Amino acid sequence: MADKHFDANQETIEAPTPVPLGGSTDRLRDAARKLVNVVEGSTPHLSNETRDVLRVRLFAASVLFFLGFFAFEIRWIFVTDNLVSNWLFWVHGTVTLVMALMALLMWRAKDISLAKLRLAELVIFADPAIYFLVLSQQALQRAANLDEGAHLPVIVAPWMMLIFTYALFIPNNWQRAAAVLVPMGLAPIGVILLQHFQCSGFQECAATPEFDSYTSEQAMIMILNVAIAVVGVHLINLMRRQAFAAKQLGQYRLKQKLGSGGMGEVYLAEHQMMKRPCAIKLIKPEKAGDPKVMARFEREVRMTAKLSHWNSIDIFDYGNTADGTFYYVMEYLPGHNIGELVDQGGALPPARAVYLMKQVCAALAEAHGIGLVHRDIKPANIFCAYRGGEFDVAKLLDFGLAKPTVKSDETQLTQEGSITGSPLFMAPEQATGERDADARSDIYSLGAVLFFMLTGRPPFMYDNAMRVIVAHVSEDAPLVREFAVDIPLELEEIVMRCLEKDADDRFQDVASLRAALNDVPLADDWTSALASEWWNCKACPQRKAMAAAAVEEAAV
């Protein structure tokens, strides 16, 4: 069976954090810039990806620095007397406070620019570096002032921590990393030499052979650590670029996952040259080894590409990568599918349900006219989108289970006797597999979806998929009025006729169904203007942002 989850909306959407929006186009555009990033940062330099990674890494580094400095601040309290007069304790506390403030800034600054992030990077690493300079100088000063003679301390430990934290956390190329790490490596050596020239006690120590050994040892430790860190940065950056390249499909850059379905996963993407947002469907990796699945995937593309109706989704491109990943590129649809509309706001008003269903009928009329039966009509495959300056444009998606009604080699791609479709909305003949599905099978599914739109539930609701399938075959569908008392009687009759068990008793084509919907007496009309008002007032914020992106794109 095509579906494993038996909810009406079978798409999984990863949505960004909602924000409050007003009703104006300008506010929609502002939301689009914040929530749907489809243009910025897709250059080969990974600028946008670097910005996002850098903010997270700087947050992590500042938190770790804060925890480390705070722990040593607590230690100071227990091991040091006269803290009030100990200026180094207060310097340490200042560094701790700065790290806390930087962590808070990185946590809250979601849309900070790359330039400001680089400035934050400077603060987060320069502040401890300055403190370590003072700490190293003080350690050497204390050693020089000991009565029993100078004891040369190992001062490179905090610098090693700083060097490797920078190398591991900050996305960089090796040249920029070297420009930062080399001064870090030279700093403790510089402190040793500076102390030698300025402190008489340390000069006496420097006259001994041990000083040369000490200095060379510290220098070699730092040189080796800097070299390892720079090479590590280069390798990490190389892996980042390889991961970035892996997210490229030809001229398309994958941005974020939008959802998943029976045949594959859908991503928001961008054409690198045209900077046009689009949606890319990828076949699931675990199915890549099945030749029949591959053939069905390609057939979906070819069949959908034949459709030119306004209410069918447009296919832009198709291809495969060197590793065998198949994909096709389609128009990016800002909006909700029918399942999401009902889940969010309950059953739709009869006028809106009819308005959308008539558009779906128009799209199916073209498909049926060239011999295609969809066979997987369900709420998740009917999208309510913003297109061409209009809201509530219905788009019929996913012809992955479509089957030609004319004989060809491709008709063997679906195994004979197998059950295809969504259990909650499939026709009885699809459930039994006793005969081939035809246009009237799609009409049954349209009736089941219309039932769902008007009542907020599918015709048959059971926990077990097999019971749902059996119900489609053997149980009479409940009357729409049992769940929605205010719908016109004529509309209920249309739904119930679509849901007839015998295909001969249904509407025989979608044109007849559409004509019947046109004749339904409705208390109110649903128009594009009413749809626009609904979007401004009731649509969820992230979907408003998607629509805003389309508004902005159309205005360019």
pLDDT at 183 over 50: yes
Catalytic residue among 3, 127, 376, 442: 376
Least confident residue range of 149-158, 349-358, 428-437, 468-477 = 149-158
Which residues does residue 254 pair with via DSSP β-bridges, in sequence order?
269
Least confident residue range of 301-310, 319-328, 497-506 = 319-328
pLDDT at 37 over 70: no
The pLDDT value recorded for residue 203 is: 55
The pLDDT value recorded for residue 5 is: 39
Which residues does residue 315 pair with via DSSP β-bridges, in sequence order?
330
The pLDDT value recorded for residue 410 is: 37
Edge-to-edge strands, sheet with 382-387: 335-337, 382-387, 390-396
Region label for 141, one of left (φ > 0), alpha (ψ between -120 and 50) or beta (otherwise): alpha
- Candidates 130, 127, 117; CA nearest to 54 is 117
3 with 422: CB under 8 angstroms? yes
Q: Which amino acid is at 537?
A: C
Sequence-separated (6 or more) residues with CB below 8 Å from residue 540: 15, 18, 336, 344
The pLDDT value recorded for residue 448 is: 95
pLDDT 10s digits, 107-136:
988 778 888 888 999 999 999 999 998 888
The pLDDT value recorded for residue 302 is: 80
Higher-scoring residue by pLDDT: 21, 476 = 476
| Overall average pLDDT of the 276-286 stretch | 77
pLDDT 10s digits, 494-534:
999 999 999 999 999 999 999 999 999 988 888 878 888 88
| Overall average pLDDT of the 65-70 stretch | 93
Higher-scoring residue by pLDDT: 256, 40 = 256
236 with 242: CB under 8 angstroms? no
pLDDT 10s digits, 132-177:
988 888 887 777 665 544 567 778 888 899 999 999 888 888 888 8
The crossing angle, in degrees rounded to 10, of helices 350-369 and 439-455 is 170
Mean pLDDT of the chain: 77
Backbone angles phi, psi at 272, to 5 degrees: -65, -40
Rg (CA), the chain: 33
The pLDDT value recorded for residue 69 is: 92
- Candidates 356, 261, 267, 332; CA nearest to 300 is 261
Alpha-carbon gap, residue 536 to 137, rounded angstroms:
63
Sequence-separated (6 or more) residues with CB below 8 Å from residue 367: 307, 312, 373, 374, 396, 399, 402
pLDDT at 16 over 60: no
The pLDDT value recorded for residue 480 is: 93
Q: Which amino acid is at 41?
A: G
Q: How confident is the model at residue 204 (pLDDT cuts 50, 70, 90)?
A: low
What percent of the chain has a predicted confidence (pLDDT) above 70?
74
pLDDT 10s digits, 285-297:
566 566 776 777 7
Q: Which residues of 247-257 are buried (b: 16+ CB within 10 A; e: fewer)?
A: eebeebbbbee
List, in sequence order, the alpha helices (H) in 247-320. 291-306
Q: How confident is the model at residue 404 (pLDDT cuts 50, 70, 90)?
A: very low
Alpha-carbon gap, residue 438 to 429, rounded angstroms:
9
Domain ranges of the chain: 47-246, 334-555
- Candidates 330, 373, 342, 331; CA nearest to 455 is 342
Give the count of beta carbons closer than 10 Å to the beta carbon of residue 427: 28
| Overall average pLDDT of the 73-78 stretch | 85
> Residue 327 belongs to what H/E stretch?
strand 326-331
3-state class (DSSP) for residue 170: coil
The pLDDT value recorded for residue 545 is: 57
Q: How confident is the model at residue 413 (pLDDT cuts 50, 70, 90)?
A: very low
Higher-scoring residue by pLDDT: 395, 43 = 395
pLDDT at 32 over 60: no
List, in sequence order, the alpha helices (H) in 387-464. 428-432, 439-455
- Its pTM stands at 0.57
Q: Which CATH number fits domain 334-555: 1.10.3720.10, 3.40.50.2300, 2.40.110.20, 1.10.510.10?
A: 1.10.510.10
Concatenated DSSP letters of 54-110: HHHHHHHHHHHHHHHHHHHHHHHHHH-S-GGG-HHHHHHHHHHHHHHHHHHHHHH-T
Task: Indicate if 314 belongs to the active site.
Answer: no
375 with 300: CB under 8 angstroms? no
pLDDT at 372 over 80: yes
What percent of the chain has a predicted confidence (pLDDT) above 90?
29
Higher-scoring residue by pLDDT: 66, 287 = 66
Of 149-158, 252-261, 455-464, 522-531, the range with the highest mean pLDDT is 455-464
CA dihedral 201, 207, 209, 215 (to 10 degrees): 60
Least confident residue range of 5-19, 49-63, 179-193, 256-270 = 5-19
pLDDT at 548 over 70: no
Q: How confident is the model at residue 99 (pLDDT cuts 50, 70, 90)?
A: very high
The pLDDT value recorded for residue 141 is: 75
